[in-house]
Structure formats: C-alpha cells, structure tokens
Chains A and B, each alone.
Chain A
Amino acid sequence: MAKITFDGIEVEVEDGTSILNAARKIGGKIVPPAMCYYKPLAGSGGKCRVCLVKVTQGSAKDPRPMPKLVASCVTPVQDGMVVENTLSPQVLEARKGVVEMLLINHPLDCPVCDQAGECDLQNLSYEHGTSGTRYEEERRTFDKVDIGPLIQLHMTRCILCYRCVYTADQITDKRVHGILGRGDAAEIGTYIENVIDNDFSGNVIDVCPVGALTDKTFRFKNRVWFTKPVDAHRDCPKCSGKVVLWNRGSDVLRVTARKNEYGEVVEFICNECRFDKKEVSDWIIDGPRHIARASVISANHYELPVVNPQIIADLPESTTKELNLLPRPF
C-alpha cells in the first residue's frame, strides 16, 4: 500500500495504482479530467495530456519534486508522494494550454453534433478552456465516412485518443480500423474501405470521448438532453444485456452501454442489443438513469466557451432559439 497526498487530501491505495485512480478514490472536484485514459482498456492513457498534475514530492524515500508535470493517468504513485492538481496554478495553466491544443483542429460544430451534451471535450472546454481562440489558420477537415451500415466516422472531430483502437484490439476478435499516417495528419481509418463488422464493434461508439464515432441507427437524431435516459436490461446470450435506453416519449432512439461517473463503460454490450433492439418491448426497464457526472447535460445548460460562429450562423433560427444559443461576438 502507498499513502499519498493529493491536493492536500491523504489517501491510501495499492502499490502500482496511478495517481489519477488515487484521486478518483478521493473523488469530487479534485479529480483530474481524462480524455484518453479509459480504465477498462489496457494500455490507454498518456496521450491527451489533460490529466497533467504536479508532483511536489516524489516519495517519502526521495522527496525531490518531479521536474516536469506528469500525466496522472499513467504515473504510478509512490509512498509519501505529494501531488497538486487544482491547487497548482501551473497545472491549471498547462491544462488550459492542452485544451486549446485539442480545440484548434476541432470543428466546434457542437450545435449540430450528435455527441453534444455528452461530449467530454465540450465539458472539458467548458470547465478548463479559455474563451475565444487564437488560432487563425484553417482547420483540418475530413469527409464523413460510413464504416459499414452501423457506424459513422466523422474524423474532423477526432482527438486521436486511441480508445477505439484499443477497444477493437481488446474487445473484438479482429481489428480492421486503426491510426493511419502520423503527426497532425494521423487519422482513424480502415485504409482499404472496410466494414467494422463484429459482434462487439459498436462499443467503439461508447468509448469515443467526442462525436467522431457515432451510431448510424440513432433515430431522429436529437439533442441528447431532450432524450430521457433509462436503465434497462434484457436476457442476452452474447453480453450482459445491461444498457441505457435513450427515449423520447415511447420511442427508443438509441441504446448505449452503461457508463460510470467518469464516462467509462461498465460492461461492454453486443451489437444486437445496441443496434437491433429499438422497441421498448424488447427491454425490461430498471428505472431512470442518473447522469452522475458534472457534465453539460447534467447541468442542463449549453453554453460553450468556444463555438465556431459560422456554424451557429448557419443554423435555422428555431434551433438556435431552442438551444438558447444565439450567436455571440467573439
């Protein structure tokens, strides 16, 4: 066991635990955000850098501070370690910088994005971003592509967290998509047009922190906050059958896996549950789903620090009104 102090709070965890998971054990506002780390996926983490923290004391044995900020999701604790997150202005400043980087090539088309309201990047920029952008250059864009009849890839929104790749590697039996190219030209793709076709392939949608991989069967695409999530289950031979139904009235618009407060899937579900069971009668309802997370959707407001003004301008007035999203000067 190792005892560490995180933002002034002591916590004891197993040896080898990451700083992030130690912070999650404490819970609440001090937990660093995570855009790429995903507990159910081995090897994930370390890439997005939004979880950076400051280690002011390395361990009881070697109390020297670490020279650089470290990614809390992949840095193991040491007994006697002292870590600062929300207490460190340096961390908050660096995180703001990382969020800006994540956004410079992001389309900021939230008003028309399926993921809006449950997007980790949207939440992140709301909590940690600055308003306005200093990026004057043209943003990288890609065409939307269908990866088979069930999943759509909108690469323009991707933040290259690699979660969908790890999911395909670890949950399905044959990975056909991956990261092609490198640097800021890297993209998710299948290279040769290929269909992601596998009993569990739909899980890539749930792990995607942004709206880059979306469910093509999501009916009457809708703002997520107009749908009512309920927990439901069915007897499924392939998976646990425990899901969340996103309903509007008596229509099942979409089925997803259940996620914990950090947005991580609790149990991966099969494609039959996700894509084929779109009648309420297919399911036994357990009760309303509580979105535990402090997200845009749970806070029930929708005000982004940064939204591409052009996209809002292009929306029909009815939508901007409904969303309370009138164009603002930037």
Chain B
Amino acid sequence: MESPTTQNEVQFSEAAMAEIRRYISHYPAERKKSAILPVLHIAQAEFGGWVSPQVQEKVAEILDIQPIEVFEVASFYTMFNLKPVGKHVLEVCRTGPCMLRGADGLIEHLENRLGCHVGKTSPDGLFTLKTVECLAACGMGPMLQIREKYYENLDPQKMDQLLNDLSKA
C-alpha cells in the first residue's frame, strides 16, 4: 500500500524550524531522537492543535527515525491529539483533589454549555472538551488548561465568562 503522505504538504515555518534545531542541539549529536517530545509539541502548535500521521512522518524525517517510532511515542503521551480538534481545547482536571473541590460539577456544566460530551467537539467547532489527570494545581481546583495557560479556582460563572471571551477571540 502506498503511504497516504505527500511529504511536501507538511512544512514547518522557519521560526518553528529554528526552535526545533535549538532543541536538537540540547542532546548529543547521535541522540536526536531525544528531541521527539519537544518537536511534537512544536508540531502540534504549528498544525492546528493535533498531529496528523503526515505530521508525525515529517517529525520522523527531521529526527532521522522510522515513522513507527514517532507513532509509538505520540500515542503514549496524552498531550498529543491524534485526531482533529476544535479551535480551543479545554482540558479539565478530573482527578481526586479537583473532584473534591467540584470538578465533576464543572465538567457537567461544560457538557451542557457546549452541547457535547467529554472527548468531543462542540457543534460549532469552537471547543473540544477533554478531561485530563492531575495538572499540579490541586489546591486551586477545579481548574482547566487551555493551550499553555491554567485557569484555576473556577466556578460556573467564571467558566461562562471564560467561554464568552474565547468565543469572541
């Protein structure tokens, strides 16, 4: 079977390539594979919040490794989205300490507000709702992460405000 990829579809920006080279320089020359997680993060930010098989193949090419080595890694770590996502990915902590402070209620509120279940994207394509495990913010729960930002001590009012702001952005 032919690989579904046309490699030239996937092109990192010059800024992203510079960042990738910077990371690669952190490891011994023969250990380029070490940069796989940082490079996948850069790729995910660069290509719409997820890493398609084509993007993963490109990462393999950059790091001189077999594509399966990237697939194995990308599917092990939960931060990498292997399917397309909405414009904003809401990652709500569901673990014990946050649950004690009301995470269940927050998740339910979000499902109602967005009209989609956990793991799905809202019908307007704006929000993907994910639950994640403890994000090291337990004292400030309930909380969620959007891209690189944490939003802590949330309640339904604050959540609605945040959703409104994001919808406009």
- On A, residues with C-beta under 8 Å from B are 174-182, 190-195
Complex CA gap A94/B75 in Å reads: 31
Complex CA gap A195/B3 in Å reads: 10
- Which single member of B3, B53, B57, B69 contacts A178 (CB below 8 Å)? B69
Can you list 17 contacts pairing A with B, beta carbon distance less than 8 Å?
A175-B68, A176-B66, A176-B68, A178-B72, A180-B75, A181-B75, A181-B76, A182-B75, A182-B76, A191-B53, A191-B68, A191-B71, A192-B4, A192-B5, A192-B71, A194-B1, A195-B1
Measured CB to CB, the closest approach of chain B to A98, in angstroms, equals 23
Q: List the B side residues contacting A182 at CB < 8 Å.
A: 75-76
Number of interface residues of B (CB under 8 A): 14
Q: List the A side residues contacting B57 at CB < 8 Å.
A: 192
Closest to B77 in A: A182
Complex CA gap A181/B53 in Å reads: 15
Complex CA gap A132/B146 in Å reads: 48
- On B, residues with C-beta under 8 Å from A are 1, 3-5, 53, 57, 66-69, 71-72, 75-76
Measured CB to CB, the closest approach of chain A to B97, in angstroms, equals 22
Number of A-B contacts (CB under 8 A): 38
Complex CA gap A191/B76 in Å reads: 13
Q: List the A side residues contacting B75 at CB < 8 Å.
A: 180-182, 191
In contact, B66 and A174 (Cβ under 8 angstroms): yes
Complex CA gap A191/B57 in Å reads: 11
Q: List the A side residues contacting B76 at CB < 8 Å.
A: 181-182
Select the residue from B1, B3, B57, B75 with max chain A CB neighbours within 10 A: B75
Complex CA gap A190/B72 in Å reads: 9
Select the residue from B1, B3, B68, B75 with max chain A CB neighbours within 10 A: B68
In contact, A179 and B3 (Cβ under 8 angstroms): no
Measured CB to CB, the closest approach of chain B to A150, in angstroms, equals 14
In contact, A180 and B66 (Cβ under 8 angstroms): no
Q: List the B side residues contacting A180 at CB < 8 Å.
A: 71-72, 75
Select the residue from A180, A190, A191 with max chain B CB neighbours within 10 A: A191
In contact, B68 and A178 (Cβ under 8 angstroms): yes
Complex CA gap A189/B76 in Å reads: 13
Closest to B53 in A: A192
Measured CB to CB, the closest approach of chain A to B59, in angstroms, equals 13
In contact, B72 and A179 (Cβ under 8 angstroms): yes
Closest to A191 in B: B71
Q: List the A side residues contacting B53 at CB < 8 Å.
A: 191-192
Q: List the A side residues contacting B4 at CB < 8 Å.
A: 192
